[in-house]
Amino acid sequence: MKTSSDFVHEFVPGTSGRTLLLLHGTGGNEHDLLSLGRTLDSTASLLSPRGKVLENGMPRFFRRLAEGVFDVEDLKERTHELADFVAGAAQKYGFDPAKVVAVGYSNGANIAASLLLLRPETLRGAILFRAMVPLVPDQLPHLSKVSVLIAAGNHDPIARIEEAQRLATLLRDAGAELTLHISNADHGLTGEDVDVAKSWLAGGINLQ
C-alpha cells in the first residue's frame, strides 16, 4: 500500500534549536500533547502529527491485529512514512533535523521506538511513556549518539513492565544511553512521569 508522507499536524515554533516530535496515544490527535510538550521544554519547537490509521474511528500511528499484537508490515511502512514526514517538516519549517527528540505516549511511544530501530537518523533522543517492543529488527541500529528515557508503570496492564525492560535491553544493546524509570502507576500518565521527563530533558541531553 502506498501512503503519502503528509500528516495532519500542528507545528509551534520555538526559540531554541530543539524540536519535540509529539506522538499521541490511540484515540488521540495532534492537539493532545502540545501542552505536555510545552511543559517539558518551554523553548523547543513542537511538531505534532496525527496518526493516519483509524481503529473504530480512533487515530493511531500503525495497525494492530489485537491489543499488543502489531501488524509489523504496516508498522514498518508507517515508520518510514513518519520519518520522511519529519525530514520534510524540517525543510518546510526550517528546524534542525539533527535536534529532534520524540515524546511519545503508548501507541505514539511504540512508533517512536520503531523510528529508533528502523530510522535512527530521525531522532537525537526519545521520551517513551508506556512503551512496548514494537518490533525486533534484523540488524540493530547504531544508537550511540541517542539518549532515551523509558517511563513505565509497574501496574500497567497494557505496556507491561517486562515489555519496557525488554525494550530497554534492546535499545541499550544498540548503544543508546538509556534511562528506565519505573513508577507506581498504571497506563495513564502521572505527575511523576512529567517531572522525571522534564528533568531528564533538562539534564540528560544537550542539544544547544
Site string for ligand MLT, 88-107 (x = CB under 6 A): ------------------xx
Q: Is 183 in the site for ligand MLT (CB under 6 A)?
A: no
What region does 106 belong to: left with phi over 0, alpha with psi -120 to 50, or beta? left
* Contact stretch for ligand MLT (CB under 6 A) within 36-44, 64-72, 161-169, 192-200: 64-72
- Which of 12, 72, 98, 158 binds ligand MLT (CB under 6 A)? It is 158
- Which of 2, 56, 67, 138 binds ligand MLT (CB under 6 A)? It is 67
CA 145 to CA 171: how far, in whole Å? Answer: 12
Q: Is 79 in the site for ligand MLT (CB under 6 A)?
A: no
CB 150 within 8 A of CB 177: no
Q: Is 114 in the site for ligand MLT (CB under 6 A)?
A: no
- Which of 38, 64, 80, 198 binds ligand MLT (CB under 6 A)? It is 64
Tell which positions 189-208 bind ligand MLT, by CB under 6 A. Answer: none
Nearest partner of 6 among 30, 25, 26, 24, judged by Cα: 30
Burial 71-109 (b: 16+ CB within 10 A, else e): eeebbbbbbbbbbbbbbebbeeeebebebbbbbbbbbbb
The answer to whether 183 is a known catalytic residue is: no
The answer to whether 6 is a known catalytic residue is: no
The answer to whether 156 is a known catalytic residue is: yes
Q: Is 110 in the site for ligand MLT (CB under 6 A)?
A: yes
Residue 139 burial (C-beta neighbours within 10 Å; 0-12, 13-18, 19+)? exposed
Q: Is 68 in the site for ligand MLT (CB under 6 A)?
A: yes
- Which of 19, 26, 122, 183 binds ligand MLT (CB under 6 A)? It is 26
DSSP letter string over 90-150?
Answer: HHHHT--GGGEEEEEETHHHHHHHHHHHH-GGG-SEEEEES-------SS----TT-EEEE
Kindly name the residue from 45, 48, 106, 114 that is annotated as catalytic.
Answer: 106
* Contact stretch for ligand MLT (CB under 6 A) within 32-40, 62-70, 77-85, 165-173: 62-70
CB 153 within 8 A of CB 184: yes
Give the catalytic positions in this structure: 106, 156, 187
Sites of contact with ligand MLT (CB under 6 A): 25-26, 64, 67-68, 106-107, 110, 158
